[in-house]
């Protein structure tokens, strides 16, 4: 399928990443079919998208007159059959293999044979996901960063089976969204999480071993290394449960004990201290 024939994009999953991905496609002029299992998740996603568009208007990134047109491009559905009209699909369901397997295999049966199926997985093997479908050569990783409307990076991940045509089209599509795509081959954690998660993990060890407080660790990295957020602030933003899950994927996939999750991270997760989303992690949020 030529890149310029894509008109309608389906986004599977309306959570934090899904609504952000849907937002950037609609803002770039694509019709978006946003699918989730319950209407309440879709309503919440549209509310978030509306607020984020308003923020863009206030910052001068979007004209006030454009906002209704962007919102008019959305169609929300709970029935997977509705994605049959899509010319390109991005899966953005939770980072659990069994959920991704169920969603991808169902979507694969509905889509036209030429349609590319992309996954926003942040650590699961794209090669393994591609093998679940009948279109492994038209399967690709499209790893957006959170918050999607703001962050310019998209890691475009080539599964072992991905064709050059599917890969090149996805790179071009990311540029059309105003993003900067970076080509990455399939490996546990890709580049972003393979480099970031050991940093977060080591910062957690510094706190656990009494080297410094979370505030001090983050101050050193912000003031000394010019990071906009400290690693522990960032961990709270991502979700400590997500960090532990990705570290597990890295340890299992690469077979190296250096990726084992810090016991303090695991303890916080066991306590339900997951970061911003639970109002407590390394920091407390009101």
Residues designated catalytic: 122, 143, 155, 193
Distances, alpha carbon 166 to alpha carbons 138, 169, 183, in Å: 6, 5, 13
Torsion on CA atoms 222, 224, 226, 227, rounded to nearest 10:
-40
**Per-residue CA distances from 92 to 60, 119, 183, 227, 260 (Å):** 28, 6, 19, 27, 26
Q: Is 87:6 a contact under the CB 8 Å cutoff?
A: yes
Rg (CA), the chain: 19
CA-wise closest residue to 183 among 214, 162, 206: 162
Say if residues 86 and 115 touch (Cβ distance below 8 Å).
Answer: yes
Of 53, 68, 194, nearest to 122 by C-alpha is: 194
C-alpha to C-alpha distances, 50 to 2, 43, 74, 230, 246, nearest whole angstrom: 31, 11, 11, 29, 31
State whether residue 213 is helix, strand or coil. coil
SS (H, E, C) 33-49: EEECCCHHHHHHHHHHH
Helices (H), 180-262: 192-208, 214-225, 231-238, 240-254
* SS3 assignment, position 226: coil
CA atoms of 73 and 44, how far apart (whole Å): 17
């Amino acid at each position: 399928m030529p890149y310029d024939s894509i008109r309608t994009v389906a986004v599977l999953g309306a959570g934090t990443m899904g609504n952000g991905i849907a937002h950037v496609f609609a803002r770039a002029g694509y019709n978006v079919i946003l699918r989730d299992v319950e209407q309440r998740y879709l309503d919440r996603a549209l509310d978030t998208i509306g607020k984020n568009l308003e923020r863009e208007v206030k910052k001068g990134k979007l004209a006030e007159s454009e906002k209704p047109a962007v919102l008019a491009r959305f169609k929300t559905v709970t029935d997977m059959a509705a994605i049959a009209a899509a010319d390109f699909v991005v899966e953005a369901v939770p980072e659990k293999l069994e959920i991704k397997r169920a969603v991808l295999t169902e979507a694969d049966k509905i889509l036209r044979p030429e349609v590319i199926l992309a996954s926003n997985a942040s650590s699961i093997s794209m090669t393994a996901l591609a093998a679940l479908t009948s279109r492994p050569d038209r399967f690709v990783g499209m790893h957006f960063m959170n918050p999607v409307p703001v962050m310019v990076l998209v890691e475009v991940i080539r599964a072992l089976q991905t064709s050059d045509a599917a890969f090149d089209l996805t790179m071009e599509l990311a540029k059309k969204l105003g993003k900067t795509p970076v080509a990455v081959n399939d490996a546990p954690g890709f580049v972003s999480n393979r480099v970031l998660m050991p940093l977060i993990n080591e910062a957690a060890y510094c706190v656990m071993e009494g080297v410094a407080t979370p505030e001090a660790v983050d101050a050193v990295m912000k003031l000394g290394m010019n990071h906009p957020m400290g690693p522990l602030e960032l961990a709270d933003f991502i979700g400590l449960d997500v960090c532990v899950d990705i570290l597990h994927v890295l340890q299992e996939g690469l077979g190296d004990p250096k990726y084992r999750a810090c016991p303090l991270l695991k303890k916080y997760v066991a306590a339900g201290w997951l970061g911003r989303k639970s109002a407590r992690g390394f920091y407390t949020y009101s």
